[in-house]
Amino acid sequence: MNDTVLDKEIDEAISAADYALECLHNADDYLNSASNWGLVDLFGGGLLTTLFKHSKINDAHEELMEAKWALKEFSKELADVDKRIDLNIDIGSFLTFADYLFDGLIADMMVQSRISEAKRQVARAIKQVEEIKEILEEM
């Protein structure tokens, strides 16, 4: 592979990383908001609090789906420069149903736990993409 082609592939991978990071940061913002609403829900929030929390969870879920697509595209671009990334981020749907049906302390704690886990996964994904992007920028 000549330098011009390699430079083009590196630039494409960096662009894909930027888009994936944008999606991940957006998802992180929504998860932070959902977490805040979740705390309110834990300490006596009502139906409106639950609705706001799940609205933010749904927003995060949509952004995570876009981030998954962006990460797949990033992986394809990395394959062109001999790098690999494999991330799996998901928010379960059962807990949303359970939270509405069994709105109470235990369901709220379960949802809050899932939000926290999703936040950790997003943070790990952001760190991995940033590290790989940094390597690409040095190439």
- Domain spans, the chain: 3-138
Q: How far apart are CA 132 and CA 139, in angstroms?
A: 11
Confidence at residue 83, expressed as pLDDT on a 0 to 100 scale = 52
Confidence at residue 97, expressed as pLDDT on a 0 to 100 scale = 42
pLDDT in tens, the chain (139 residues): 567 877 888 899 999 999 999 999 999 999 999 999 988 988 888 888 988 998 998 899 889 889 888 988 888 888 877 754 544 444 444 344 444 444 566 677 888 888 888 888 899 899 989 988 998 898 8
Confidence at residue 95, expressed as pLDDT on a 0 to 100 scale = 43
Q: What is the CA radius of gyration of the chain?
A: 18
Q: What angle do the packed helices 105-138 and 94-101 form, to 10 degrees?
A: 150
Confidence at residue 136, expressed as pLDDT on a 0 to 100 scale = 87
User: Six-digit token pair at 114?
Assistant: 């899932």
Query: Taking a C-beta distance cutoff of 8 angstroms, is the pair 57, 91 a contact?
Result: yes
Confidence at residue 98, expressed as pLDDT on a 0 to 100 scale = 42
Confidence at residue 78, expressed as pLDDT on a 0 to 100 scale = 83
H/E/C letters for each residue in 114-129? HHHHHHHHHHHHHHHH
Confidence at residue 105, expressed as pLDDT on a 0 to 100 scale = 64
User: Six-digit token pair at 101?
Assistant: 């049906």
